[in-house]
Amino acid sequence: MQIRISWTKSDIGYSKRQKDTIAAMGLRRLNQSVVLEDSPAVRGMVAKVRHLVSVEPVPAGVGQEESEE
């Protein structure tokens, strides 16, 4: 299962650890979204910055390329 993480609030005024967590998730700009695998590590990062991001599940098969043989 995958989740879509969207950066919704600026990190100005928050600690460097929280800014680093945003960057570690692959977010570079405000209002950007990334799709990551739903794992305990990713959930822990989201919990650290839950006031700065929004999270939604990605339905299976969406955003994945299917190979035709």
Domain count for the chain: 1
Q: Residue 65: inside a domain, yes or no?
A: no
Model confidence pTM above 0.95: no
Q: How many CB atoms lie within 10 A of CB 22?
A: 21
> Is 67 among the domain residues?
no
**CATH number of the domain that 16 lies in?**
3.30.1390.20
* pLDDT tens-digit series, residues 16-68: 999 999 999 999 999 999 999 999 999 999 999 999 999 999 987 765 544 34
Domain span at residue 22 reads: 2-30+39-58
Q: Contact, 25 vs 5, CB < 8 A? A: yes
What count of residues does the chain have?
69
Q: What is the pLDDT of residue 16?
A: 97
Whether the CB-CB separation of 1 and 55 falls below 8 Å is answered with no
Q: Are 48 and 39 in contact (CB under 8 A)?
A: no
